[in-house]
Amino acid sequence: MNHYYTDNVDLISQKKQIEFYYRNHSISFITDHGVFSKDRVDYGSHVLLEAIEINDEKSLLDIGCGYGAMGISLKKAYPSLYVEMIDINNRALSLAQENIRLNHLNNIISYNSYCLEEVKNSFDIIISNPPIRAGKQVVGKIIKDSYDHLNNQGKLVIVIQKKQGAPSAKRLMEETYGFCEILKRDKGYYILCSQR
């Protein structure tokens, strides 16, 4: 079985372009078979993007970036933000690179990393729409490992459905960070935020 959080290089490519509007910016994305939510920016990512506030933050990491929907949207809306995006799906990463070029963005990179294993920098904000179907262990690893990659006062913001483990993710964020705020609830999606 093929999953978006794996890297199936044998899957036939059939690229298409979708459009997304975010904070007064029109953004184009090239998507393809074998990546998460290839037909539109998924509802969970959309809810996270609407809930998040970027103020003085200067750097952002998008974990499980896929074709770059969240990281690129935030970079487009906040041009001074430095953005890194990671995923384990090479097709998704190739699309993310293509989408960076398509939207004429600088100071944004994407690269292969399982969870945060290849991440060298620390960030003011880390976001994720974690691959729930990869299992709670992966989600837990993202939550725990993000702590060491956040600057002082840095924030971790994730989107997760209640039925797919939002209460347990919230508990783990409280255990790891000492506090977890629900920024927004929308149609079963929870936007959870913890601060280092």
* Residue 165, pLDDT above cutoff 50: yes
* Residue 75, pLDDT above cutoff 70: yes
Domain layout of the chain by residue ranges: 13-155
Query: What pLDDT does 50 receive?
Result: 97
* Residue 27, pLDDT above cutoff 90: yes
Euclidean distance between CA atoms 102 and 27, whole angstroms: 9
Query: What pLDDT does 34 receive?
Result: 78
Report yes or no: 135 and 164 within 8 Å, Cβ to Cβ.
Answer: no
* Residue 15, pLDDT above cutoff 80: yes
Query: What pLDDT does 174 receive?
Result: 98
Report yes or no: 115 and 83 within 8 Å, Cβ to Cβ.
Answer: no
Q: What is the pTM of this model?
A: 0.92
Higher pLDDT, 163 or 109: 109
* Residue 33, pLDDT above cutoff 80: no
Q: Which residues of 100-117 are buried (b: 16+ CB within 10 A; e: fewer)?
A: bebbebeebebeebebbe
* 95 confidence band (pLDDT: 50, 70, 90): very high
Fold for the domain defined by 13-155: Rossmann fold (3.40.50)
pLDDT digit string, tens, across residues 123-156? 999 999 988 776 788 999 999 999 999 999 999 9
* Residue 3, pLDDT above cutoff 90: no
3-state secondary structure of 73: helix
Query: What pLDDT does 51 receive?
Result: 97
pLDDT digit string, tens, across residues 36-74? 766 678 899 999 999 999 999 999 999 999 999 999 999
Query: What pLDDT does 10 receive?
Result: 64
Residue bearing tokens 């959080």: 5
